Amino acid sequence: GAGVSQSPSNKVTEKGKDVELRCDPISGHTALYWYRQSLGQGLEFLIYFQGNSAPDKSGLPSDRFSAERTGGSVSTLTIQRTQQEDSAVYLCASSLRGSNTGELFFGEGSRLTVL
Amino acid sequence: ILNVEQSPQSLHVQEGDSTNFTCSFPSSNFYALHWYRWETAKSPEALFVMTLNGDEKKKGRISATLNTKEGYSYLYIKGSQPEDSATYLCAPSRGGATNKLIFGTGTLLAVQP
């Protein structure tokens, strides 16, 4: 497909386990974002990749969270030792030109439930 | 950290009513202002990306204006329909290295048939 693809769409895990969420952006898009939406909350910025620049990790809530983007394409968000407060929908978005003028295209999200 | 404020938080209107909401943001080092529409159980979709002071953009019954000097944007919906029910998000972008998009908490619009 031509859109942003995220997997898994749903993930249920036990507290303390590690999880990996994957994002496959639109081909050719240089910018990639991770956001999350916790229950009743808005879109919370997590991390931003732009081309070959160092990622902006300022939104990651703790050192249990990390993300990488391999080859400027696919990105993986890893949450170690998951906690119940990590339960949320994790959204990935990509953009052709970066956030200044390029609109973001969002995936359908990965819903994480930590029991 | 960008301080983005959207008002009202929620809005209930009748079908056919026209409505508008506000996005306020710091005017310093402004570069672009994005509007997104987020329907329940779907992903956010871009409505407008605006960069010029005084700019007005329109898509069907939805339009937006931008005032970069005072730091606000208005989104207007003319003749609201039930399918317009969604959360409307704005996100300003600054120039330079800090050019990530930070979203406001949104305005939740409910249009009653």
Q: Give residue-wise pLDDT tens across range B4-46.
A: 999 999 999 999 999 999 999 988 878 889 999 999 889 999 9
Is A100 at the interface with chain B, CB within 8 A?
yes
Rg (CA), chain A: 13
Give the whole-angstrom CA distance, residue B45 versus residue B49: 12
Q: Is pLDDT of A4 > 90?
A: yes
Distance separating alpha carbons of residues B63 and A5, to the nearest angstrom? 30
Distance from CA of A56 to the nearest CA of B (A): 8
Q: Decide if B103 and A91 are in contact by the 8 Å CB cutoff.
A: no
CB within 8 Å of B64: residues ≥ 6 apart? B35, B47, B48, B50, B56, B57, B58, B73, B74, B75, B76
- Structure confidence at residue A70 as a pLDDT band (50, 70, 90): confident
Stretch A79-96: mean pLDDT: 96
| pLDDT tens, position by position, A31-59 | 999 999 998 888 999 999 988 888 999 99
CB contact under 8 A, A100 and B103: no
- Quote the minimal CA–CA distance from A99 to chain B in Å: 6
Higher pLDDT, A26 or B93: A26
Residues 6 or more apart whose CB falls under 8 angstroms from that of B7 comprise B21, B22, B24, B107
Average pLDDT over residues B81-105: 86
Tell me how close the Cα of B2 comes to any Cα of chain A, in angstroms: 11
User: What are phi and psi for residue A36, nearest 5 degrees?
Assistant: -140, 155
Residue in B closest to A31 by C-alpha: B100
In chain A, what percentage of residues exceed pLDDT 90?
Answer: 77
Q: Is the pLDDT of residue B2 over 70?
A: no
Instruction: Tell me, letter by letter, the H, E, C secondary structure of B48-88.
Output: EEECCCCCEEEECCEEEEEECCCCEEEEEECCCCHHHCEEE
Query: How confident is the model at residue B96, as a pLDDT?
Result: 64
**Which of B50-53's residues contact partners 24+ apart within 8 Å by CB, and which partners?**
B51/A101
Please give, rounded to a whole number of angstroms, the shortest distance from the CA of B73 to a CA of chain A. Answer: 16
- Identify the band that residue B93 occupies on the pLDDT scale cut at 50, 70 and 90: confident
User: What's the confidence (pLDDT) of residue B100?
Assistant: 81
Residue A111 has pLDDT above 80, yes or no: yes
Query: B27 vs B4, B22, B24, B31, B68, CA distance in Å?
Result: 11, 15, 9, 9, 6
Tell whether the model's pLDDT for residue A9 goes beyond 70: yes
Contact A40/B at CB under 8 A = no
Q: What does residue A38 show for φ and ψ, rounded to 5 degrees?
A: -85, 165
Please say if the pLDDT value at position A1 is more than 70.
no
Question: What single letter denotes the amino acid at residue B40?
Answer: T
Q: Which residues of B touch A43 (CB under 8 A)?
A: 44, 89, 103, 106
Contact A101/B106, CB-based, under 8 Å? Answer: no
